[in-house]
Amino acid sequence: MVITYLESALAKTASSWAASVAGLDPLAQELLVEPSWKLSGVLLGTALLGGAMIDEGAMASSRALEFLDQSLRLGQANMEDSDKYIESNLLITDYLYARAIDEVIAIDAPPVIGYLARAIMATASDRAEGEFADYRRHLLAAALEIGSFLGGIEGPQAEAVAAAAVGAGQLGAGDWAKAYPPGPVRDYLRQSLTTAAG
Amino acid sequence: MRLSGRQRPVSAGIIKRLDAFEPHFKTVIRPALGQISEPALKAIEAGGKRLRPALVMISADVGGALDDPRVMQACGAVELVHLASLVHDDVLDASNTRRGVSTINAEYGQRRAVIIGDYLFGLAFDLLAKGNNNALIGPLAKASVELSRGELRQRQTLRRLDQTVDDYLEKTYAKTAALFVAACMMGARAAGLGPKEEGLLEDYAGSLGMAFQIYDDILDFTGTEGELGKPVGSDLREGTVTLPIIYTLLSGARQSVQAALAEPSAEAVARAVADVQDCGAIDEAKKVARGYVERAQGAVVGLPANQAQRDMISLGNFVIDRYH
């Protein structure tokens, strides 16, 4: 039942994402790829673990995260070919960063903006150090942190999610899920995290 | 040239806070890794007028909130977004100098400059998120979308001769004026001003931003390399069709401009610059810019008659005077 609810929320997120994309500059639209929705799945699933219903705040945050994923993907794809990056994609990545932030203004949740901003900064720091391939771990971390915040997760569970966020991308589902009661959402998240990290 | 330099178009209270802003601004970048912090600090220290922070402060001063801690945060955030856009602009233009100082891309390479611009943008919003004030984040987010959309438009229309004055004004609003508006809205919200004052400040900032950019585009033809920190006619060389160029095209002196946009050799650019200077296009463009300054100064008449209002009027005069 709960997985059906989660999948229905993901479908709604996908359709609201399509509406947002339709409002983008055509040049940006051309460069987008269909999201895998794994980041959204992690965000929404984490919020559900906290017992929250999935509302516009969670869906807007998911859309923001997917915009950020598109932007960082474009950046990464071109970091090894700086001429191509500069010519075709730099302004689009800037535009998508701004759209990602703007997507969550209406939900009045500055911490969500903080998590998105820190994913941009962490990726930039990695790239400055010569690490180009691992931006998704910062997005996964943001998905977990945002889901935890929106789900109102507190105490040891919040610590477990924070630990998972720190180790995101390296956790292979990780031990963090042990902090939660067994159940379909935990299994869903375990699987989503494993595949989203890959 | 900084507002707090020799020429002081704003009151001592604003100058004092602008001076305090500089060390505060540098501290926001310090926690970053060395690979980031060194070039980012260089971008911060490269100077600039700090016009956007000044607008945040003056707008906050309308409501007597100059010393609200959110004002400094807003100043830092708006200037970071501005710097991020300059750093990426220099990458796209492959510029070697800005304000007479070597650019981040010239010193650290194109790739690192792209990364620094990204970091500065993220840092701007992280700074505001930490203040937990959505009312201040909204205007900056909106302006960032406008700014990047304006930059996109500009790149899409490089060297195109079919651009109208309206096309130019629309791009200019997005590229420059929107961030001026964000600065004033952030100051207004820190001060808790009402919708009427916000509306007047929006009109003021939008008009001032338009005038500022138009004069900047004029200066590209009337300034000296020393003043500009880059060669005269750079816009022509880069293919950016600005208001003086549009008026030159409308005046009938098309040939030289067309040639310079198509093939920007030193001779072609020099001929086109001479035509822009001689055909009356500069006067036409100045008329439009002055109209925006008058509109800006007219908007603040509806605000309380205090020091903040005088600063806003004076900033309008500064935008005109710095070209004479």
Residues of A in contact with B141 (CB under 8 A): 98, 101-102, 105, 113
Nearest to B145 among A93, A99, A113 (CB): A99
Contact B124 A75 (CB under 8 A): no
- Tens digits of residue pLDDT in B73-116: 999 999 999 999 999 999 988 888 887 789 999 999 988 999 99
A152/A165 Cα distance (integer angstroms): 16
pLDDT band, very low/low/confident/very high, at A171 (cuts 50, 70, 90): very low
- Tens digits of residue pLDDT in B253-278: 889 999 999 999 999 999 999 999 99
Angle at B315 between CA B137 and CA B208, to 5 degrees: 60
Contact B88 A116 (CB under 8 A): no
Per-residue pLDDT at A185:
84
Task: Flag whether pLDDT at A85 surpasses 60.
Answer: no
Nearest to B134 among A86, A105, A129 (CB): A105
CB count within 10 Å of CB B131 equals 18
Q: What is the mean pLDDT of the segment spanning B6-32?
A: 88
Task: Flag whether pLDDT at A87 surpasses 70.
Answer: no
- Tens digits of residue pLDDT in B27-58: 988 777 788 999 999 998 887 889 999 999 99
- Tens digits of residue pLDDT in B123-138: 999 999 999 889 999 9
Task: Flag whether pLDDT at A137 surpasses 50.
Answer: yes
Nearest to B122 among A110, A121, A129 (CB): A121
Helix/strand number for chain A, H first, E second: 10, 0
B181/B185 Cα distance (integer angstroms): 6
pLDDT band, very low/low/confident/very high, at A173 (cuts 50, 70, 90): very low
Mean pLDDT of chain B: 93
Helices (DSSP H) in chain B: which residue ranges? 12-29, 34-45, 51-62, 69-93, 104-108, 110-130, 134-156, 165-172, 178-190, 195-222, 225-228, 234-238, 243-251, 254-262, 266-278, 281-299, 307-321
Per-residue pLDDT at A193:
74
DSSP state of B305: S
- Tens digits of residue pLDDT in A8-62: 999 999 999 999 999 999 989 999 999 999 999 999 999 998 888 899 999 999 9
Q: What is the mean pLDDT of the segment spanning B197-206?
A: 98
Nearest to B122 among A86, A109, A118 (CB): A118
From B285, B282, B293, B286, select the one nearest B317 (Cα to Cα).
B293
DSSP state of A52: P
- Please state the pTM of the whole predicted model: 0.94
| Contact residues of B toward A, CB < 8 A | 32-33, 35-36, 84-85, 88, 91-92, 110-112, 114-119, 121-126, 128-134, 137-138, 141-142, 144-145, 147-149, 151-152, 155-156
Contact A129 B141 (CB under 8 A): no
